[in-house]
Structure 1
């Protein structure tokens, strides 16, 4: 089964985390063929040249070949490239498992945090673009921990199920 790993990849911390998480998935599921764009030197060696069309064609081809996408949704906003890749996956009915670990999700039952929502500039929670989140949820799941994500991958791989059935 081919898996597309969609994640931000421009800060060193992104590159390290992406490699760490993909390695965990590869160790647990050696049968999966995971495409991680940062490993594609032909388009992502930042000391070399690749124009926008080269990048779009290469990554879109890999999304379209996949049976599953894993997408990292963390950040100030969802990474633009990740959001685009999610859109391509949705258009091709490729299930997406999203990982959203932002700690500001915690405390959803804290009444003080809920009350603060009515005060200007006191939102205690992080906003995730609802359109992009909706595309994931229409044909997949969003998880808040690596453990839950790995369980989701396990469920998908072992049941080969579609999330929109």
Structure 2
């Protein structure tokens, strides 16, 4: 679905992350602005920018939200899914399933610092102690769907490179 025009490739990206906390809202806003700056020939759908369904002082029922966001996701060439948090956001997990089933490539962004030190023998040994896991867990089914359709990166610079590489392929 990539559309070529004079000056480069134009692609549509669906950006999925939680959007209810101020921290998530601002992170999404900042990261998407950075992506738009670094990759100018891209159209990024950020659900929080769709006031018709995501102005939480207003009203949109579950059907309206599901229809609007699913239509945007199904029209995308690529999905970015932020995987950070105590668990993957429920909405993001659902959107990953829709993207996978629709054969839309997915780039997961997972910045959790607990993944550092994967070769540290003390951290590895601590896995044998009950309740001493030093690593964060992500649902393997959900991450498997991402890996079957794309990749998981660990920082914003890798994300930008992955999106650029996708646009060139």
TM-score band, normalised by the shorter chain? over 0.9
Superposed displacement of residue 69, structure 1: 0.3
Query: Structure 2, unaligned stretches of length 5 or more?
Result: 1-10
| Paired position in structure 1 for 2:60 | 50
| Counterpart pick for 1:96 among 93, 106, 114 | 106
1:67-106 aligned within 5 A: 67-106=77-116
Superposed displacement of residue 31, structure 1: 1.1
Distance 1:103 1:24 in 2: 21
| Counterpart pick for 2:74 among 57, 64, 78 | 64
| Paired position in structure 1 for 2:153 | 143
| Paired position in structure 2 for 1:9 | 19
Query: Structure 1, unaligned stretches of length 5 or more?
Result: 160-165
| Counterpart pick for 1:39 among 23, 27, 49 | 49
What's the RMSD between the two structures over aligned residues?
A: 0.5
Is the partner of 1:142 in helix, strand or coil?
Answer: strand
Q: Which has the higher strand share?
A: 2
| Paired position in structure 2 for 1:108 | 118
- The number of residues matched between the two structures is 159
Task: Please identify runs of 4+ aligned residues in structure 1 that moved more than 2 A.
Answer: none
- Give CA deviations for 1:68-99 in whole Å, capped at 9, x if unaligned: 00110000000000000000000000000010
Is the partner of 2:86 in helix, strand or coil?
Answer: coil
